[in-house]
Copies of this chain bind each other. A is one copy, B any other.
Amino acid sequence: MQTFTIISLMDATIKDIARIVKVSYATVSRALNNKHGVKPETRKRILEEARRLNYRPNAIARGLVKKQTHSIGLVIPDITNPFYPEVARGVEDAAQEAGYSVFLCNTNWEKDRELRYIELLTSKRVDGLVIAPVSETTEALQRFLRSVPVVYVSTTSVAAHESYVTIDNVKGGYLATELLIRTGKTPVAFIGSEEDSHTLQERLEGYKQALKDYHQPVDERYVRFGNFKRETGSRFIKKMVLEGVKPKGVFGENDLLAIGIIQGAKEIGLAIPEDLAVVGFDDIPLASFPEISLTTIAQPKYEMGRYAVEILLKRIGVEDTGSFPRQRLILEPNLVRRKSA
């Protein structure tokens, strides 16, 4: 009894099976991998013994010879940010279906932590990477990335030869602004996160485009940048009206910001959406809560994750690196109308 337990504790290898069944371990390998060319009866004996020994193939050893690990890395800023769990879930589901596992890496928005992670992941010989980069990729980062297939998610601004999946942020910004204008909520303001973010720039471009198309003046006093935190939205809207800049509508670059805007507006006695209509971007789970009911531009987050790994796996599948054409997938944003605008 005791002995039995101990035996089952230490991992049996292919050699153990070979020794017991009295065949070469080449044969055992073939049997275990359902390769043709092993006599049914032999195969049966091997499988039985494997089962009896509680044999688990050693993926490490296999990885060494096959030069692939069936693992991919998912590098995101922060799983705690409500935008990412869904894309992570999409990534994970798609990976799992294809027999891949995924390493979760939070960069915490830190450039060097991101770099260290990528370094680590390449050391672990992941077969590929899906990454939502902290910011514009640096040269150092590029150097690493050259040795492993990668698809970017939620960014477009990357080296010309890389694949990515994202949504049409310009269009999203346009849709948001357009709604505000058409419902008479002018002038409409824009409150965004960091100014140098490409995502922001695109959404801002959509905003300006809509303004132009509908013959609205573009007034810089109505556009502000801070960071992606909720408090920022609250602070900025209050500051704005304090300065006498009084929009009737505001487009928040993301939902957290937009929710903050609503909260700030309420604090100074503005009714939503009568006095101030606000629309956000992302459609995080929170947005749909009755208490919040935020009108917003939805991103198909889960699908973005899925598509990213689908592209990645296709890329991994082709042995001839470099011959694989860059894939760009730009998904459609979707206006979902709730009570805030």
Binding site for B on A (CB under 8 A): 8-9, 11, 54, 56-61, 63-64, 69, 71, 74, 78-80, 82, 84-86, 88-89, 92-93, 96, 101-106, 117, 119-125, 143, 146-147, 259, 263, 285-286, 289-292, 321
Q: How far is the CA of A291 from the CA of B272 in the complex (A)?
A: 13
Which residues in B have their C-beta under 8 angstroms from that of A11? 147
A142 to chain B, nearest CB (A): 12
Which residues in B have their C-beta under 8 angstroms from that of A117? 96
Q: How far is the CA of A289 from the CA of B8 in the complex (A)?
A: 52
Residue pair B69, A79 in contact (C-beta under 8 Å): no
A114 to chain B, nearest CB (A): 12
Residue pair A125, B80 in contact (C-beta under 8 Å): no
Residue pair B80, A86 in contact (C-beta under 8 Å): yes
A317 to chain B, nearest CB (A): 18
Of A60, A124, A146, which is in contact with the most chain B CB atoms at under 10 Å from its CB? Answer: A60
Which residues in B have their C-beta under 8 angstroms from that of A119? 56
Q: How far is the CA of A266 from the CA of B120 in the complex (A)?
A: 51
Partner of A105, one of B59, B85, B92, B143: B92
Residue of B nearest to A88 (CB): B79
Partner of A125, one of B9, B58, B92, B146: B58
A to B CB contacts below 8 Å, 16 in the list? A9-B147, A54-B147, A59-B123, A59-B124, A60-B124, A79-B88, A82-B285, A92-B105, A92-B106, A96-B105, A101-B120, A101-B121, A102-B104, A104-B104, A286-B289, A291-B291
Q: A9-B146, A57-B123, A71-B124 are in contact. Are A88 and B104 (CB under 8 A)?
A: yes
A64 to chain B, nearest CB (A): 5
Which residues in B have their C-beta under 8 angstroms from that of A292? 289, 291
A272 to chain B, nearest CB (A): 11
Residue pair A101, B103 in contact (C-beta under 8 Å): yes
